[in-house]
Amino acid sequence: EPEVTQTPSHQVTQMGQEVILRCVPISNHLYFYWYRQILGQKVEFLVSFYNNEISEKSEIFDDQFSVERPDGSNFTLKIRSTKLEDSAMYFCASSEARELLSNSPLHFGNGTRLTVT
Amino acid sequence: DQQVKQNSPSLSVQEGRISILNCDYTNSMFDYFLWYKKYPAEGPTFLISISSIKDKNEDGRFTVFLNKSAKHLSLHIVPSQPGDSAVYFCAASAPDDSWGKLQFGAGTQVVVTP
């Protein structure tokens, strides 16, 4: 079964450094998302992306964050200057269709654990 | 912003018995609800969903019930199997939200014992 793949599985970085988290969505999917889960907290929506532009972003997704689809397969999340509170598990997801239907739910990757020291 | 609540952080159930997971929501605009299952070191995996026009949806061992007046949904797993041991998340979306913007509950850790 096709799956969303994320790399790296674990990223350790120093505060103030830039990080890029990478995702390869399922190939025929057109809608892409980033979510994150801080340890012990809920899974939170960050951003949705379609047709090479952001559809919606949450309050968390400030100017330090950006997303890009640099080619036909990758979808990246960049954090320009990491803070301690950015430490979390970051999940990429994709979906085939615009409407959330039982045959087009969000498919999540296994996540990248980001640790900011 | 606790729009989706799962008040039971954990549930222990014997193999073969029914697991009932509960979820409450506060936003009356939510019109689509999903359950995801998550194993350690993996991402959430879609289980089952329900639209607000229905009150029940069934898929194999999994059934989701929706009570709109009570703003409550539940997931029933019958019979429970050891492989069902995981964290289960309830999630919801509203028509005003962009596609794929889900509000998640905090999750319920299910342990199925032999």
Q: What is the DSSP string of chain A?
A: ----EEE-SEEEE-TT--EEEEEE--TT--EEEEEEE-TTS-EEEEEEEETTEEEEE-TT--TTEEEE--SSS-EEEEESS--GGG-EEEEEEEESSSS--TTS--EE---EEEEE-
DSSP classification of residue B99: T
What pLDDT was estimated at residue B109? 97
Query: Which of B48, B49, B89 lies closest to A43 in CB terms?
Result: B89
Task: Tell whether the torsion through CA atoms of B41, A28, A32 and B37 is positive or negative.
Answer: negative
Q: For A36-60, b where at least 16 C-beta lie within 10 A, e where not — what string?
A: bbeeeebbbbbbbbbeeeebbbbeb
Instruction: Find the closest chain B residue to A113 by CA distance.
Output: B41
CA distance B36 to chain A (A): 10
Interface of A with B in 23-82 (CB under 8 A): 31, 33, 35, 41-45, 48, 50, 55-56
Q: Which residues in B lie closer than 8 A to residue A91 (C-beta atoms)?
A: 43-44
Alpha-carbon separation of residue B62 from A8, A76, B58, B103 (angstroms): 33, 34, 6, 21
pLDDT along chain B (114 residues), means of 10: 89 97 95 93 92 95 97 98 97 81 94 95
Q: Determine the Cα–Cα distance for residues B38 and B89; give it in Å rounded to an integer.
A: 8
Asked if the Cβ–Cβ distance from A95 to B99 is below 8 Å, we say yes
**Structure token pair of residue B73:** 């949904």
Asked if the Cβ–Cβ distance from A100 to B99 is below 8 Å, we say yes
What pLDDT was estimated at residue A71? 87
Tally A–B CB contacts below 8 A: 67
Q: Which residues, 6+ apart, have CB-to-CB distance to B56 below 8 Å?
A: B50, B63, B64, B65, B66
Mutate to test the interface with A, among B42, B96, B102, B103 (most CBs of A within 10 A): B102
- The tens-digit pLDDT sequence of chain A (117 residues) is 779 999 999 999 999 999 999 999 998 888 999 999 999 899 999 999 998 999 999 999 999 999 999 887 899 999 999 999 999 999 999 988 765 555 568 899 999 999 999
As a three-state string, the secondary structure of B16-81 is CCCEEEEEEECCCCCCEEEEEEECCCCCCEEEEEEECCCCEEEECCEEEEEECCCCEEEEEECCCC
Q: Determine the Cα–Cα distance for residues A29 and B95; give it in Å rounded to an integer.
A: 21
* Interface check A87 vs B, CB under 8 A: no
